[in-house]
Amino acid sequence: MKKCRLPWVAPATHNPSSSFLWALLPALLLSLSGCQGLSDWLLDDPDPATPTVSPTPLQPPQPPSGPPRNDLFGIPWLPGNTVRPLTDRNRFNARWHRLVYEGLFALDAAFEPTPVLCASYETQDNRVYLFRLRDDVRFHDGTALTAADVAVSLTAACGRDSIYAAALSGVVSVRAAAPLTVEVTLAAPNPRLPALLTAPILPQNAKDFAVPPGTGPYVPQIDDDHPHLLASADWWRRETRSISRIELIPIETSDQLIYAFGTRAVSLVEQNPTDTTAIHYGGDYETWEFDTPILQYLGFNTKHALLQDPALRYALSLAVDRETICREFYSGRWAIPAVLPLPPASPLYNETLAGQNDYDPERLSELFADLSLEDSDEDGVLEYPISRYRRQPLAFTLIVSAENAERTAAARHIAQALGDVGVAVEVSALPFNAFLTAMEEGAFDLYYAEATLTPDFNPLVFGADGALGHGVYRDAETLALWEAACAAAPGGAFAAREAFWRRWLAEAPIVPVLFKRQALLTQRGLVTNPAPLFDNLFANLPAWQ
C-alpha cells in the first residue's frame, strides 16, 4: 500500500528562509529557533550577513508628483531587474507577487482552497485530478490563459529551483489534457491537493520576459524611476479597486523599513509580535490580526525506554494546559490553543475529539494509576514498572531553543506542570546550533519546537519518515488509517478521518499546544476593512476603502 502523503522538506537549519510563507515556499518548514528578523528574510542569501544598521536612515524614493504624500499607497520591495515569482525567495517581493499573479486556487481564512483560475475539478481516487480552467482569463499582455500555460507553470513549480518544489514533489506528471483542462497525477492519494496549488500561473514563454505578465489585479511597472503597480483595466474579475496605484518602495535594511513606515512612505507592514527579533514601529497605525499555520508542540523521543509506551505519552499530554500558556505567554491574543495539529479555524478540526483529549489532570491521575506508577522511595518522582522487579523514575530532559522567550517560557510551564504530578522534567534551553544538533542526533527525551504546516496538514510529517520525525515515531496501524482516510470517497471521508485522529491522539506521537497569530499594521485611517490572510495580505484588496 502506498503512503498517502506528499513529500516534505528537510528540517530547517539556521537558514532564515525557514520563516518564508506559503507565498514563498508552500511546504512544511521547521522554525526551531524563532530567531528570524527582517534582514534575515530580505535576501536570497542562505547565510546572510549581520543586519545592516544605517546611522542615518535613508529616505525611500517618492513619486515626483501626484496626490499628497499621505494619500500614497506604498509597500516594501527588494529591487531587482527581473521578476521570477516561482524562484524569488524574497518575502517582500512574494507579497506583491500576489497582486500580479494568480494560482489555480487561493486559501481563505480557514485555510481552505477557493477556486481562482480553476473553474471546477474532479477526481475519482484523489490521485489523478482534472482541473478545468476559466475561459475568460487573459494575461496582462492580452493572451488568453490555456491549459498549456498551466501545465508549463506547474511543471516549473515542481522544478529543483522552484520555491514550490518540496510541496509539489509528490506530483508525478502535469499535462494539458484539453485546451482548458489540466491533468495532475500524484504518486499517492491526497484529497487536499487543491490547497497546494497556489503557485503563480505564468505564460508558457515566461522566461522571455524580464517581468512576466500575470492575470492578477495589478500590472507591475518596475523599469522606470518610480517602480509601482497599476490596477489592470482588463482584469478578468472586473472588480473595482479603490487603490489604483501602489508604489514599490525599495527597502534593504531594518532601519529603512522602520523609517519608511514611520513617515508613511510604506503604508503597511506585517509583524510577528512574538518573534525573537520583532521590529517595533513608530507612528500612528492600526493592527489587523490573522491566523497562521505555525504550530508549537511538545515532542517525544520514542526510542526512550519509557516513552515508547503510547499510554504514557498520552497521559503526559493531559498535563499540557494550553489555555494558560496562550494567556500568560501570548497575551491571549497571539496564540490559539490546539489539541490537533490543525488550525482550529479549519473545518477539518474535530472539536469533539479535541475536547475529549484536552488538559485533564484528573484523568491523568487515573491513567497514572492504570500504568501502576508509584513513588516507592518517596522522593517526589513517580516510577514506571519496567519489569516485575524493576522500576525506573519518570525523569526526563526537555530541550528547547533559547532564542525565543515565549517558547522557552511555554516549555518551562509544561515542565512545571509535569513536575506537579510527579514527573521530573529538566528544561535545557540551548543555543540554536546546539539545539539543532541535539535534534538531529536524537539527544533528548522531550523537545519543544515550532513548525509551519502546509495547508494539506498531513500529520505523517511527524512520523519517522517525515521531515519533523525527530521522535522516530512508527506505527503501522496509524499509517494504514491515514492512507484509508486519504483514499476515502467523499461519503466516507469524515468517518475515516475521525478513525485516524482517534488513533493518532491515543498514540500521541507529539502533543500540539498552540497555533500562533500574526498581524498586519496599516497607517491609521488608510483602510477600513482589510482581511489579511497568512498566504495573502491583500486577500480582499478590491474591497479596501
Least confident of 36-40, 298-302, 476-480: 36-40
Helix (H) or strand (E) holding 98: helix 91-100
Residue 219 CB partners (closer than 8 Å, separation 6+): 100, 140, 213, 229, 230, 231, 232
Q: For position 55, what pLDDT does the model report? A: 32
**Spatial distance between the Cα atoms of 208 and 212, rounded to a whole number of angstroms:** 8
Nearest partner of 44 among 72, 15, 67, judged by Cα: 15
Nearest partner of 153 among 118, 219, 204, judged by Cα: 204
Domains of the chain, earliest start first:
79-217 (3.90.76.10), 292-474+510-517 (3.10.105.10), 475-508 (no CATH)
Q: For position 545, what pLDDT does the model report? A: 63
DSSP 70: G
Give strand ranges (E) for 59-180: 74-77, 105-107, 113-115, 118-123, 128-133, 171-178
DSSP one-letter string for 45-57: -SSPPSPP--SS-
| Residue 512 CB-half CA count within 13 A | 29
Nearest partner of 14 among 41, 38, 33, judged by Cα: 33
**Spatial distance between the Cα atoms of 147 and 153, rounded to a whole number of angstroms:** 10
CB distance 446 to 399 below 8 Å: yes
| Residue 493 Cα distances to 113, 214, 477, 488, 498, angstroms | 17, 36, 17, 5, 9
Task: Grade residue 180 by pLDDT with cuts at 50, 70 and 90.
Answer: very high
pLDDT, greater one: 128 or 79: 128
CB distance 97 to 246 below 8 Å: no
Q: For position 39, what pLDDT does the model report? A: 29
Q: Convert the pLDDT of each residue in 87-127 to its tens digit.
A: 998 888 999 999 999 999 999 999 999 999 999 999 999 99
- For residue 20, pLDDT beyond 60: no
Q: For position 241, what pLDDT does the model report? A: 85
Residue 400 CB partners (closer than 8 Å, separation 6+): 407, 408, 411, 427, 428, 429, 430, 435, 447, 448, 449
- For residue 19, pLDDT beyond 90: no
Helix (H) or strand (E) holding 411: helix 405-420
Mean of pLDDT values over 9-29: 36
Task: Grade residue 279 by pLDDT with cuts at 50, 70 and 90.
Answer: confident
**Spatial distance between the Cα atoms of 316 and 358, rounded to a whole number of angstroms:** 11
Q: Convert the pLDDT of each residue in 32-70 to its tens digit.
A: 433 333 323 233 333 333 333 333 333 444 443 433 334
Side chain identity, residue 11: P
DSSP one-letter string for 309-375: -HHHHHHHHTT--HHHHHHHHSTTTSEEE-SSSS-TTSTT--HHHHHHTS--HHHHHHHHHHTT-B-
Q: Are strands 446-452 and 285-300 parallel, antiparallel or unpaired?
A: antiparallel
**Spatial distance between the Cα atoms of 187 and 170, rounded to a whole number of angstroms:** 6
- For residue 31, pLDDT beyond 70: no
Give strand ranges (E) for 354-437: 383-385, 391-393, 395-401, 424-430
Look up cell 491537493; give the residue.
Answer: 193
**Spatial distance between the Cα atoms of 233 and 235, rounded to a whole number of angstroms:** 6
Q: Convert the pLDDT of each residue in 380-402 to its tens digit.
A: 999 999 988 899 999 999 999 99
Q: For position 67, what pLDDT does the model report? A: 37
Q: For position 299, what pLDDT does the model report? A: 98
Helix (H) or strand (E) holding 106: strand 105-107
Q: Convert the pLDDT of each residue in 256-275 to its tens digit.
A: 999 999 999 999 999 988 88
Task: Grade residue 134 by pLDDT with cuts at 50, 70 and 90.
Answer: very high
**Spatial distance between the Cα atoms of 484 and 31, rounded to a whole number of angstroms:** 30
Instruction: Identify the bridge partners of residue 120 per DSSP, sorted by sequence position.
Output: 132
- For residue 490, pLDDT beyond 80: yes
Q: Convert the pLDDT of each residue in 335-385 to its tens digit.
A: 999 999 999 999 999 999 999 999 999 999 999 999 999 999 999 999 999
Pull the grid cell for residue 467.
521531515
Residue 491 CB partners (closer than 8 Å, separation 6+): none
| Residue 8 CB-half CA count within 13 A | 28
- For residue 277, pLDDT beyond 90: no
Q: For position 46, what pLDDT does the model report? A: 30
Dihedral sign for Cα 443, 449, 455, 460, please.
positive
CB distance 522 to 84 below 8 Å: no
Give strand ranges (E) for 389-525: 391-393, 395-401, 424-430, 446-452, 510-523
Collapsed DSSP state (helix, strand, coil) of residue 152: helix
CB distance 509 to 471 below 8 Å: yes
Q: For position 282, what pLDDT does the model report? A: 86
CB distance 196 to 25 below 8 Å: no
Q: For position 388, what pLDDT does the model report? A: 82
DSSP 492: H
**Spatial distance between the Cα atoms of 12 and 28, rounded to a whole number of angstroms:** 9
DSSP 427: E
Look up cell 515626483; give the residue.
Answer: 64
Pull the grid cell for residue 55.
546611522
DSSP 541: G
Percentage of residues in the chain with pLDDT exceeding 90?
Answer: 74
Nearest partner of 274 among 450, 135, 425, 126, judged by Cα: 450
